[in-house]
Amino acid sequence: MLREFCQWLYDSTIGTSIRESIWVFPIIETIHVLGITLLIGTIAILDLRLLGLVLRREEVSRLASQILPLTWAGFGVMFVSGFLLFWAEAAKCYANPAFRIKLLLLILVGLNPLVFHLTIYRSVLSWNEQLVTPLRARLAGFFSLTLWGGIVCAGRAIAYFQK
């Protein structure tokens, strides 16, 4: 099922034109990396604050409300450009181990803030100003940083496994 879908995307007019154009693919790739920079750069600030490493005098909730719009903007750019890249190479990505690992890590990195917001972040007002946040908040920051790092590495590795 999935394999047929990937093949269908790969053979579609749009997928083929992105793949066969000399400039379109690298340009989308560059936009993808810029989107990732915005996404990871901003989320890393929040993660590092949860770990008590930067902006320690800033309230966590105030930092989050100012920084998350930028993170979402980066996510939007990354997602759209990433999907276009996938569209062009879908059939090759399907069997690519680095691509599979990256998707798995993306699911995990999506679950992390979900759990964070549904649990420890509900009580944010009680630890908003603490230099060192509760253990579960620090764990969320740690997992976010490691998972996003893994996603960058797996993403780069896709090109090495693309046949």
Partner 1 sequence: MFMLHVFQWLGNSPVGIFMQQSTYAFAVTEMLHLLSLSILGGTILIVDLRLLGVGLRSQSAAALDRELKPYLIGSLTVSVLTGILLLSEEPMKCYYNEAFRLKMLFLALAVFFYFIIQERLFQREPSAGTNLLAKAMGVVSLLLWLSVGLAGRAIGII
Considering the rule CB under 8 A, would residue 28 count as an interface residue with partner 1? Answer: no
* DSSP assignment of 16-71: HHHHH-TTHHHHHHHHHHHHHHHHHHHHHHHHHHHTTSS-TTS-HHHHHHHHHHHH
Give the shortest CB-149-to-partner 1 separation in angstroms. 6
| Tokens representing residue 31 in the block | 């936009």
DSSP state of 128: T
Q: 108: closest CA among 144, 156, 75?
A: 144
Which residues ranging from 97 to 156 are in contact with partner 1 (CB under 8 A)?
A: 148-149, 152-153, 156
Applying CB under 8 A, the span of 28-36, 75-83, 99-107, 114-122 interacting with partner 1 comes to 28-36
Applying CB under 8 A, the span of 38-46, 76-84, 106-114, 119-127 interacting with partner 1 comes to 38-46
Q: Which of 19, 58, 124, 129 binds partner 1 (CB under 8 A)?
A: 58
Q: Which of 24, 55, 108, 147 binds partner 1 (CB under 8 A)?
A: 55
Buried b (16+ CB within 10 A) or exposed e, 102-139: beebbeebeebbeebeeebbeebeebeeeeebeeebbb
Q: Which of 9, 28, 40, 51 binds partner 1 (CB under 8 A)?
A: 40
Residues of this chain that interact with partner 1 (CB under 8 A) are 26, 29-30, 33-34, 36-38, 40-42, 44-45, 48, 54-55, 58, 62-63, 66-67, 70, 148-149, 152-153, 156-157, 160
